Structure 1
Amino acid sequence: MVPAGCAPDPEAPADALQGIDDAGLREHIAVLASDEFEGRAPVSRGEELTIAYLAEAFGAAGLEPGNDGEWLQPVPLVSITADPGMRLAISGDDREETLEYGTEMMAWTKRVIDRSSLADSELVFVGYGIVAPEYGWDDYAGVDVAGKTVVMLVNDPGYATGDPAHFNGRAMTYYGRWTYKFEEAGRQGVAGALIIHETDAAGYPWEVVASSWSGPQFGLVAEDANLSRPAVEGWLTLDAAAALFERAGLDLATLSGRAVREDFQAASLGLAASLEIRNTIERSTSHNVVGRLAGADRPGEAIVYMAHWDHLGKDETLEGDEIYNGALDNATGVAGLIEIAAAFGGLERPPARTVLFLAVTAEEQGLLGSDHYGEYPVHPLDRTVAAINMDGLNTVGPMNDITVVGLGNSDLDGYLEAVVSAAGRVIRPDPEPEKGFFYRSDHFNFAKRGVPALYTDSGIDHVERGESYGRRMREAYTAERYHKPTDEYDPTWDLDGAVDDLRLLFEVGYRLAQGAEWPTWREGNEFRAARDQMMEGAGGGD
């Protein structure tokens, strides 16, 4: 265990650090984000080009294939494409109205069946849809929602109140994530589950919902065909939901205010939902790409660097630009993965511990590639020291700070603090904790299984232009380019800040790889118990 601020030795070689530079980073981003790679969708021509490029790049960096002599780890997927002609019919008070797909609602099913439907399913408002014993919270208390359709608010009560003693205040907990809400709804036996979208509380505009949940939706192949999931999952726009509540004689704002209290009681809307989803189902295989640099002294202990290679592919229904190039998200992170791999591969002697480089698939479809890795790791998780994730690098220039998403979670903060201080910079917590970024990227599939994970983001205090500029650039990206065809590589990007951050992450990994310490989660962290249990049964590394 390493106390925060303590500088573990040894320092990384200067020539390895200098090898991480603008030219190499820029070249990889430009290729991966090019139109030729067609948006890097899983199970597409874009995937074929991407995984071949990564295997070649890893080999050129001096790595060896990381999956029992193979570069690729197969990830079995099922693709479910819902017919966009669906309509959500709301009946009651002697009339029926429909909500339009794409503009008022989005719906799908994770059930691997040709058709899934709701038939006059009673609508029930269940607040935030959370059951959290540690907070004394149960939005489903006193109500039987089996076979009904629940309507929920996005995020969690702490976000709405801003009270740091309420959940985690403005910082989203896992209970605020849509993934949790649909999972919990399934455990409650509902037929349908609908989340009300609010841009601020969700962290992204409705256009992101519409683009992300339309077209082929990938999932891991489940033995039960996902029949334990709700028959229908989806989102409602805020305006559509408000009108729905008004039709029911209820006020959404008033009920939302009640939903932040522990004594909240679910409320029936007195309306019913009907919807039929017709699916086209295809089974396929995508791939994680794994490179390995074997440790010189303790190869059975590993550090993992990771980034997701996939993006949203092409949408031929769009006019003009059809390609979601995913330049910042996440060609930058994958390019950084290659640069760090080359820095390690160029060392005169490998570090004591093994270093794995993991480029995962299907992040955009729900962190599927990393989830599959977590279930079938090529290196045992109880002998995995830490995971370091890169998902979107800085493209606007050097910063005085670097953001740690989930600051205070683990001892890894101390390793980063040591190298950040030496660089004359500072660490800051996530400036947008309400958006739940810690639960929205691939390191989470290591964290929830107990492996300490470090996830950094660009700073916001620009060296020359200050914090206001940094914040404006973040906001502009979210509004104008995030999950849109406009996320394209720009040769005028200032990548000096990205290079600075990658060098810091190289140093953190190098010190971990050369050391003998086993960082862990801080006391009180939700993942500490899983790590403690894991390590109790861990044997010797070599």
Structure 2
Amino acid sequence: MKTNGGQFLHFSRVLFWRTMVAVLAAPSYLPANLHDDTLAELSIPKIKTHLAYLASDQLGGRATGSMGAKLAADYIADQLSKSKVKPFGAKNSYFQNIPMHGSKPLKESRLRFSTRDETRTFELGQDYLLYDAGAPTYIAAPREMVFVGYGIVAPEYDYNDYLSVDVEGKIVVFINGEPISDEEDYFAGARNTIHANVDVKQRVALSRGAMGTILLPNPRTEKNIPWHYWQQQFAFENVSLLYARATNLNILLNPQMATALFKGSPFEYRHVVDMVNADLLQSFKMAGKLAFKGAFKEWEFSDQNVIGIIPGRDKKLKNEYVMVSAHYDHLGIGPAVNGDSIYNGFGDNAIGVSATLEIARVLATAPKPPKRSVIFLFTTGEERGLLGATYYIDHPRVPLYKTFVSLNIDGIAMFDTFNDFVGIGAEHSTLENVLKNLADSFSLTYSRVPAIFANSNAFGRSDQIVFAREGIPALALLEGLNYKHFTFEQGLLRFVEWGEKYYHTPFDDLQQPINYDAVEQHCELLVALVSKLANQVKSIDFYPNSPFLNARLQSIAEER
């Protein structure tokens, strides 16, 4: 499966935080029926030790392919070995080597727009930004453009933006997001669906024969995001899997250039804005043409996933696998902010990796192994487009249809202990029932994603989506907003402030305040969940209306 680089992740993740701004001796939390001699005691000091190394300046932000990332991978492998978690990578090692391609567009790149009356050149950085790209994206002869609304094909909702237009060999232009609905059975009501993902839109366009795509920020929901913010987010190099290098052009256009782009077309951009606001988008052939001549610095390198396994003890169930994943990469060295250019990634995701290492130790040192086998997958390249997870799916260590469930750990509670938790992605399957039972055993409440976050598309912003697309029930378990020592409004404000001040900045480092009672509570919950999935749950089934059900059925039928 091909991804189109990490910028679409920056786009959706940062939009999430911006949207939220507009809205505006530690106790043990393991339940009594699980808090016995079957599991070792979870150690916060060990988690702190992992964090002190993984989030240190010494690792330089753990960018994909960097020396800091290699040091992090070596450390993770060493800790798995010390915990008696068996290697499950290539050649009896902990490593799965991944060939990758890196590129960075140079200022000499030229995007040329022409109509019958004029020709103009858009400037890289100022007028547009490039998703994953390289030399193969060269478009010499000007190509026609077609506006395709949201760029969505969703037969389950009887919706097709491509129905009345031919995009073969052309450049498609679409709006970010998807139709807004109050009906749960039409684009999931208030919640975003997978069709809102930028990479999904790009792949749909490619499958229809388009030579490239231009994404326009949504004029209704994203008009307050300044362009300089996207310039900063796209400042990092593009990385792709070597065998999945971009061959088509994918652009994010500065909204200030949109008026020029639609000049002479049946509808001007101001009319498109009216269509978006009225929920009456329609597709049409545009008047202009586009050509692109890029200049790039390109290189090839190898990076690694780190994989360990606790083999199951049950004769039958040991051939079913519970996947626990956490990405260890971050952004590396980037634009300096207040003199600091190291993007340490403490919360994203050194703390998730540290927690996963401790969960692995607790389970591996239990007197009895779990009934099902448990795979611990530490992925690279998540920040660059879910690359490590995608490579694993393309080169799985076990058949995908035998993967019972995937639990992705991307972030751990840091603000306060909590009274409820959410399962991102659980709404697609009977995992919801597992989580409700888990909540009862902890005297907590299982909650759906709060309505205020409905359009954040949290499920599509990390590795869990990669596994779900292949038909594997997947989730990420996060704390809710009903904190023990804050009101809902105070918790929401702190959550949003973290996103604005720390997320994907050099300040997500070891200096920020952390509530380790919250860390422990979250980790105890995760230990119990993994144990329950590996020992007690008989089956997990996608709901009939899940977009991932067909992939599951196909995987089982093909024994893939």
Say yes or no: TM over 0.5: yes
CA deviation vs aligned residue, 1:61-83 (integer Å, no higher than 9, x gap): 22111225211011121112221
Are the counterparts in 2 of residues 118 and 192 from structure 1 also a CA contact under 8 Å? no
Does residue 105 of structure 1 match 2:125? Answer: no
Please name the residue that 1:279 is paired with. 296
Please name the residue that 2:196 is paired with. 176
Please name the residue that 1:34 is paired with. 56
Distance of 2:510 and 2:279 partners within structure 1: 47
Distance of 1:107 and 1:331 partners within structure 2: 28
Are the counterparts in 2 of residues 121 and 273 from structure 1 also a CA contact under 8 Å? yes
Distance 1:157 1:516, change over 3 A: closer
Distance 1:382 1:207, change over 3 A: farther
Please name the residue that 1:301 is paired with. 320
Please name the residue that 1:3 is paired with. none
User: 1:270 aligned to 284, 287, 302, which one?
Assistant: 287
SS at structure 2 position matched to 1:492 = coil
Which amino acid is the alignment partner of residue 297 of structure 2?
Answer: T
Shift of 1:148: 2.6
Does residue 94 of structure 1 match 2:79? Answer: no
Please name the residue that 1:77 is paired with. 100
Please name the residue that 2:341 is paired with. 322
CA deviation vs aligned residue, 1:377-413 (integer Å, no higher than 9, x gap): 1122222211111111221111111122124211222
Correspondence 1:152-301 to 2 at 5 A: 152-158=174-180, 161-198=181-218, 201=221, 209-222=230-243, 226-227=246-247, 230=248, 232-242=249-259, 244-245=261-262, 250-252=267-269, 254-258=271-275, 264-298=281-315, 299-301=318-320
Distance of 1:513 and 1:361 partners within structure 2: 25
Distance 1:165 1:535, change over 3 A: closer
Distance of 1:457 and 1:240 partners within structure 2: 39
CA deviation vs aligned residue, 1:75-128 (integer Å, no higher than 9, x gap): 121112221443434333634444443343202454563x62364333332110
Shift of 1:169: 2.0
SS at structure 2 position matched to 1:127 = coil
Distance 1:537 1:82, change over 3 A: closer
Say what the alpha-carbon RMSD is for the aligned residues.
Answer: 2.9
Does residue 341 of structure 1 match 2:360? Answer: yes
Which amino acid is the alignment partner of residue 530 of structure 1?
Answer: A
Distance of 1:253 and 1:429 partners within structure 2: 37
Identify unmatched segments of 5+ residues in structure 1.
Answer: 1-8
Does residue 496 of structure 1 match 2:517? Answer: yes
Distance of 2:511 and 2:38 partners within structure 1: 27
Which amino acid is the alignment partner of residue 428 of structure 1?
Answer: S
Tell which deviates more after alignment, 272-281 or 262-271: 262-271
SS at structure 2 position matched to 1:56 = helix
Please name the residue that 1:4 is paired with. none
Please name the residue that 1:6 is paired with. none
Which amino acid is the alignment partner of residue 381 of structure 1?
Answer: L
Are the counterparts in 2 of residues 10 and 514 from structure 1 also a CA contact under 8 Å? no
SS at structure 2 position matched to 1:315 = strand
Distance of 1:13 and 1:66 partners within structure 2: 29
Please name the residue that 1:133 is paired with. 155
Correspondence 1:348-367 to 2 at 5 A: 348-367=367-386
Are the counterparts in 2 of residues 24 and 339 from structure 1 also a CA contact under 8 Å? yes
Distance 1:151 1:328, change over 3 A: same
Does residue 48 of structure 1 match 2:70? Answer: yes
User: 2:457 aligned to 416, 431, 436, which one?
Assistant: 436
Are the counterparts in 2 of residues 297 and 352 from structure 1 also a CA contact under 8 Å? yes
SS at structure 1 position matched to 2:446 = strand
Distance 1:180 1:261, change over 3 A: farther
Are the counterparts in 1 of residues 179 and 279 from structure 2 also a CA contact under 8 Å? no
Which amino acid is the alignment partner of residue 294 of structure 2?
Answer: I
User: 1:25 aligned to 41, 47, 70, which one?
Assistant: 47
Tell which deviates more after alignment, 162-171 or 360-369: 162-171
Are the counterparts in 2 of residues 395 and 497 from structure 1 also a CA contact under 8 Å? yes
SS at structure 1 position matched to 2:289 = strand
Are the counterparts in 1 of residues 219 and 273 from structure 2 also a CA contact under 8 Å? no
Are the counterparts in 1 of residues 135 and 295 from structure 2 also a CA contact under 8 Å? no
Which amino acid is the alignment partner of residue 406 of structure 1?
Answer: G
SS at structure 2 position matched to 1:222 = helix
Are the counterparts in 1 of residues 39 and 367 from structure 2 also a CA contact under 8 Å? no
Please name the residue that 1:510 is paired with. 531
Are the counterparts in 2 of residues 128 and 259 from structure 1 also a CA contact under 8 Å? no
Distance of 2:398 and 2:78 partners within structure 1: 22
Shift of 1:513: 1.4
Please name the residue that 1:148 is paired with. 170
Does residue 124 of structure 1 match 2:143? Answer: no
Shift of 1:147: 3.0
Are the counterparts in 1 of residues 134 and 296 from structure 2 also a CA contact under 8 Å? no
Percent of paired sites with the same residue: 28
Distance 1:341 1:92, change over 3 A: same
User: 2:542 aligned to 502, 521, 529, which one?
Assistant: 521
Does residue 461 of structure 1 match 2:461? Answer: no
Shift of 1:241: 2.5
CA deviation vs aligned residue, 1:193-221 (integer Å, no higher than 9, x gap): 11112498579875664344444211122
SS at structure 2 position matched to 1:310 = coil
Which amino acid is the alignment partner of residue 313 of structure 1?
Answer: G
Normalising by structure 2, report the TM-score. Answer: 0.86
Are the counterparts in 2 of residues 118 and 191 from structure 1 also a CA contact under 8 Å? no
Are the counterparts in 2 of residues 520 and 531 from structure 1 also a CA contact under 8 Å? no
Distance of 1:456 and 1:208 partners within structure 2: 29
Are the counterparts in 1 of residues 419 and 480 from structure 2 also a CA contact under 8 Å? yes
Distance of 2:557 and 2:413 partners within structure 1: 39
User: 1:313 aligned to 303, 308, 332, which one?
Assistant: 332
SS at structure 2 position matched to 1:372 = helix
Shift of 1:264: 4.6
User: 2:469 aligned to 443, 448, 453, which one?
Assistant: 448
Are the counterparts in 2 of residues 12 and 510 from structure 1 also a CA contact under 8 Å? no
Distance 1:533 1:41, change over 3 A: same
SS at structure 2 position matched to 1:341 = helix
Are the counterparts in 2 of residues 150 and 192 from structure 1 also a CA contact under 8 Å? yes
Which amino acid is the alignment partner of residue 532 of structure 1?
Answer: L
Which amino acid is the alignment partner of residue 408 of structure 2?
Answer: N
Distance of 1:164 and 1:106 partners within structure 2: 35
Shift of 1:341: 0.6
Identify unmatched segments of 5+ residues in structure 2.
Answer: 1-30
Which amino acid is the alignment partner of residue 187 of structure 2?
Answer: F
